[in-house]
Amino acid sequence: MDRRALLASMLAIRAFEDALAAHSDAGFQLYSSGEEAVAVGVCEALRPVDQLLSSGRSIGPALARGLDPGVVMAELLGRADGPCKGKGGRGHLAQPGAGFFGAHAVVGGNLTIAAGVALAMRMQRAGGIVACIFGDGACGSGALHETMNIAALWKLPLLLVCDDNGWSISTPREAALAARSPADLAAPFGIRAASVDGMDVLAVRDAAAALVAHVRGGAGPAFLVCDAERFSSHSTATRELRSPAAMDAVRARCPIQRLLRTLRDAGALDDAAFAAMERDAGEAAARALAFAERSPPTGVDEIGRDVD
């Protein structure tokens, strides 16, 4: 994917979330805005045969993985045409057939699962690797340490991606993790790690590609830490405690504006072309929303289906 395509991918996520947030029935959401470069850069390093797992902050990862925005929007709005028939929602969005094994809304809860998926894929000679995106809030959980231990012992084809937005809802990482950086956690297990500016999609892409090559080559797991920013509060149900000045500083790191500057400075994109890209992203989001609104609400008879 060239740099313009990476920009388009980030714009698509931003526009999708803006359209969802403006919807009268948006429901309970955790937005990825600000963290688009992490999902887009990591997915750029993956192949169709690979599987991606994410935390409950799933919209960016799912769209970056290439899921159809219309069916994703349908899932988020509780419609029958969502890949999970509207039963999983954002917290449990999944479409394994498209390489998105799924979100799981328990902090740290998808990590041991990802190790199991990696084990199964290797035993079945599926040829792919597994990437799991989780927040820095999961770094204090035993699940991460158990997962790193077993993944390193068994040399599992697993890329762990810490989307480090610095906050566990209201608790700053400095108050939640004794290690200086999440990347330091990998060292005792002999896991190769890298830290990048998570607002620089090109840096994320390059670091992810190097670690994916390591994992794909059979050398065992790898750990990528992306220093990112959350542009809104933890969720639509959560208060924002950061000051307006702090939020200005956060937004100044915008990954979309950053790549735009790079491309503009290189003479690869002018303002008119960028405006056209923004317009395209907005129209795609509007189409996704229209598709979701046409989709029937999930029927309550679904509570009796696929239970056991």
Partner 1 sequence: MSTEGAGKVFFAEAIARALRESMERDPRVVILGQDVGRFGGAYREFAGLHARFGDERVRDMPVAEASMVGVGVGAAAAGLRPLVSITYMDFVTLGLDPLVNYGAKLRYKTGGQLAAPVVVKTTAGAKGQGVAHSQSLEAWLVGVAGLKVVAPSTPSDAYGLMLAALAEDGPVVYVDHKRLFPTAGELAHAPAPVPIGRALVRRSGGDVTIATHSYMCRVADAAADRLSAEGIDCEIVDLRTLWPLDVATVAASVARTGALLTLEEGQLACGIGAEVAFRVREEVGRMRVSRLGAARAPVSGNPRLEAATLPRADDVVAAVRRLIDAKANEP
Binding site for partner 1 (CB under 8 A): 51, 82-88, 92, 94-97, 101-102, 104, 106, 109-121, 123-124, 142-143, 146-147, 149-150, 153, 302, 305-308
Residue whose CB is less far from partner 1, 104 or 205: 104
Q: Alpha helices, DSSP H only, in 22-100?
A: 36-44, 59-64, 69-76
**Please, what is the minimum distance in Å from the beta carbon of residue 303 to partner 1?**
9
Q: Which structure tokens are listed for 144?
A: 């991460």
- CB atoms inside a 10 Å sphere around CB 51: 23
**Please, what is the minimum distance in Å from the beta carbon of residue 301 to partner 1?**
13
Amino acid at 74: A
Q: What are phi and psi of 52, to 5 degrees?
A: -115, 135
**Please, what is the minimum distance in Å from the beta carbon of residue 307 to partner 1?**
6
Residue whose CB is less far from partner 1, 97 or 267: 97
Residue whose CB is less far from partner 1, 239 or 305: 305
Cα 168 from Cα 157, distance rounded (Å) = 28
**Please, what is the minimum distance in Å from the beta carbon of residue 121 to partner 1?**
6
**Please, what is the minimum distance in Å from the beta carbon of residue 209 to partner 1?**
24
Residue whose CB is less far from partner 1, 40 or 62: 62
Cα 152 from Cα 183, distance rounded (Å) = 15
Say if CB 241 and CB 32 are below 8 A apart. Answer: no
Residue whose CB is less far from partner 1, 101 or 167: 101
- Output the CA torsion sign for 100, 170, 174, 145: negative
